[in-house]
């Protein structure tokens, strides 16, 4: 390596070393000398594993050098090291093939950039997000419990609906973890607007009259009003999902008489899960109608009232995977 190139690479604060096919160090820059506190003369011809081995990086059990030497690409990886005082440092490591004049791979160039501050900031952010998630979970559970305490006949309904909604969401978009969690939370809160409905109507033992039912129907709009200004950061509006969960594809739902193209996917999923759970389980004015009746209802109205794909997924879950609602522990308290 000529003097000018060496000088330029020595001025770079990052760490660079070149390793041959035998995993011997053939050159390092000044940044690497400072990292391991040894000079270039002492380092050259030493085994690269005398200082640290990239095969011990996060989640890997093979040596990067072996992969590079065969021409395979290796994505950047993080390496955690300690200085002489025992202080932890984190580096992002990249590896490139080192070729001779004929283009043959004769070694590996390793480039380390310290990201300790960034890693610490990321860890702090992850911890903050975890705390926020715990707080959100407790808040949601408290809201659900508040609703259920006023409506003992349907205690656990929202939690059960959330079980099915979560399974449907996982089936439709298994890679969208944040979206799956968001729609599960929406299902847990979909009847939050009932907190403003008189308790005597919620627990009415017979069928509701027209005026009573009109009051019940307000719960979708009330739920939207309660939640619409809260930023849940799930990538969709929980308020709109709750507002639309009683809408039907043919425009016969409420409160806005929306049709297929106007109803968001999250609400279409929630609508089917809500109907199935309500039909299977008991209500103040009737006994549970059972799984067969619920499956018949959604099948006959798939593509008419209910999203066809969502119905197909629900039928698959119940009939093929034998999905069952689990009784939420809190429903007994």
Q: What is the CATH number of the domain that holds 212?
A: 1.10.3210.10
Number of independent structural domains in the chain: 2
Examine the domain organization and report whether 226 and 151 are in the same domain.
yes
Examine the domain organization and report whether 205 and 319 are in the same domain.
yes
pLDDT at residue 61, rounded to an integer? 40
pLDDT at residue 256, rounded to an integer? 94
Cis peptide before 255 (omega within 30 of 0): yes
Estimate to the nearest angstrom the gap between the alpha carbon of 267 and the chain centroid.
19
Query: Residue 250: inside a domain, yes or no?
Result: yes
And the tokens for 141? 């559970």
Examine the domain organization and report whether 227 and 198 are in the same domain.
yes
Query: Residue 120: inside a domain, yes or no?
Result: no
Mark the ranges of the chain whose per-residue pLDDT is less than 50: 53-62, 331-333
* Run of H or E residues at 122: helix 116-150
Q: Helix axis angle, 210-217 relative to 219-227, nearest 10°?
A: 20
Examine the domain organization and report whether 109 and 138 are in the same domain.
no
Query: Residue 123: inside a domain, yes or no?
Result: no
Tell me the backbone φ, ψ of residue 278, rounded to 5 degrees: -65, -35
Query: Minimal CA–CA distance to 98: which of 194, 196, 24?
Result: 24
Given the structure tokens 């009415």, which residue do they identify?
A: 204
Examine the domain organization and report whether 69 and 147 are in the same domain.
no
Examine the domain organization and report whether 33 and 95 are in the same domain.
yes
Instruction: Write out the residue range of the structural domain in which residue 104 sits.
Output: 3-114
CA separation for the pair 242, 270 (Å, rounded): 8
User: How many helices (DSSP H) and strands (DSSP E) are in the chain?
Assistant: 14, 5
> How many residues are listed for the chain in this entry?
333
**Exposure on the CB side of residue 4, measured as CA atoms within 13 A:** 0
pLDDT at residue 333, rounded to an integer? 41
Given the structure tokens 């760490």, which residue do they identify?
A: 15
pLDDT at residue 248, rounded to an integer? 96
Examine the domain organization and report whether 133 and 81 are in the same domain.
no
Examine the domain organization and report whether 19 and 90 are in the same domain.
yes
Examine the domain organization and report whether 322 and 184 are in the same domain.
yes
Last residue of some domain: 84, 114, 144?
114
Examine the domain organization and report whether 62 and 165 are in the same domain.
no
């Amino acid at each position: 390596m000529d003097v000018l190139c060496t000088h330029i690479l020595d001025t770079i604060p990052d760490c660079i070393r070149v390793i041959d096919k035998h995993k011997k160090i053939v050159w390092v820059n000044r940044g690497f000398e400072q990292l391991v506190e040894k000079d270039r003369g002492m380092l050259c011809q030493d085994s690269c594993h005398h200082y640290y081995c990239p095969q011990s990086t996060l989640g890997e059990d093979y040596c990067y050098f072996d992969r590079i030497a065969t021409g395979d690409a290796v994505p950047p990886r993080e390496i955690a090291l300690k200085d002489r005082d025992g202080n932890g440092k984190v580096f992002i490591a990249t590896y490139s093939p080192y070729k001779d004049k004929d283009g043959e791979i004769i070694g590996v160039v390793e480039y380390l950039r310290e990201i300790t501050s960034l890693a610490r900031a990321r860890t702090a952010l992850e911890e903050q997000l975890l705390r926020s998630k715990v707080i959100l979970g407790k808040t949601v559970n408290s809201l659900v419990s508040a609703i259920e305490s006023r409506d003992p006949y349907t205690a656990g309904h929202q939690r059960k609906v959330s079980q099915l909604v979560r399974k449907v969401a996982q089936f439709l978009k298994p890679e969208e973890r944040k979206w799956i969690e968001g729609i599960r939370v929406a299902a847990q809160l979909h009847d939050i607007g009932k907190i403003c409905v008189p308790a005597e109507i919620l627990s009415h033992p017979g069928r509701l009259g027209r005026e009573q039912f009109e009051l019940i129907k307000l719960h979708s709009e009330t739920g939207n009003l309660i939640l619409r200004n809260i930023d849940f950061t799930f990538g969709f509006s929980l308020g709109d999902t709750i507002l639309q969960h009683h809408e039907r594809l043919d425009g016969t739902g409420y409160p806005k008489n929306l049709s297929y193209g106007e109803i968001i996917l999250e609400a279409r999923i929630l609508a089917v899960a809500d109907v199935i759970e309500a039909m299977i389980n008991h209500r103040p004015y009737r006994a549970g109608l059972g799984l067969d009746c619920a499956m018949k209802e959604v099948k006959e109205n798939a593509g008419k009232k209910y999203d066809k794909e969502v119905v197909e997924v629900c039928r698959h879950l119940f009939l093929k995977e034998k999905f069952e609602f689990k009784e939420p522990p809190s429903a007994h308290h």
